[in-house]
Amino acid sequence: MLLREQQPTKTPSEPPGHYQRRLRRTFGNNVIIASTLCVDGSNGRSTCSGDSGGPLTIGSGGSRQLIGITSFGSAQGCQRGHPAGFARVTSFNSWIRARI
């Protein structure tokens, strides 16, 4: 069953690289690369098993923009406050455009 999770967008108050370091501690160095979009899960909401391939969008009202594709989350569960990783859509623009 596809569920929808809406979270507020906020300007990071943490120093640059904070969330990337947090993701590396959780998942290791090999998964955090330039094409990974890191999303904080500290509010107890994150990706769950079966979410892979799902959209990460931003926007308001009826206008949404796809910015990420769910890639990975913590094996400890989606409500543990761990960050998640999404494939950054802009990193694959040329590949996407060549196929549509």
Q: Which residue stretches of 1-85 are H helix?
A: 18-27
57 alpha-carbon distance from chain centroid: 10
Give me the amino acid identity at 96.
I
Q: What are the structural domain ranges in the chain?
A: 18-91
CATH 3.40.50.880 fits 18-91, yes or no: no
**Cα angle value 99/65/84 (rounded, 5°):** 90
* Nearest alpha carbon to residue 76 among 43, 46, 53, 32: 46
pLDDT in tens, the chain (100 residues): 445 555 555 555 566 677 667 767 776 666 667 788 878 777 777 888 888 999 988 887 788 899 999 988 877 777 777 778 889 999 999 999 999 8
Residues ≥6 apart with Cβ < 8 Å to 26: 74, 82, 83
Record the pTM. 0.68
